[in-house]
Amino acid sequence: NGNGGIYSSLMASGVHDAMLASGVQYVQVFGIDNVLARIGDPLWFGHMIASKADASNKTCIKQDPHEKVGVMVLKDGKPAVTEYTELTQEMVELRQS
């Protein structure tokens, strides 16, 4: 069900509780279409653990405002991914000052 659907599914299915009971501390999740994802990236995990972060996200800068990729946004004050299909033309053209 899109970006982030895995988390509610883990909770609803009981898998999250089973992972905790088994002692799982960290999980890496990435989109299947992300061919550049480095599975088990030790630097990424190390930085996340050293920072005592609950979660971490790797992104890259879009090459062009109209590139058809999702973007990280703040939605109701919380980090989220918004798909490019959900962006208005005005949003696509926004630039940070």
Task: Give pLDDT tens digits for 61-97.
Answer: 888 888 888 888 888 998 888 888 998 988 888 877 5
The pTM of this model reads 0.63
Q: What gap in Å lies between CA 34 and CA 58, rounded to an integer?
A: 11
pLDDT for residue 3: 62
**What's phi and psi for 71, nearest 5 deg?**
-130, 150
**Per-residue model confidence as pLDDT tens digits over 20-65:** 999 999 998 887 777 788 888 999 999 999 999 988 888 888 888 8
Which residue type is seen at 80? A
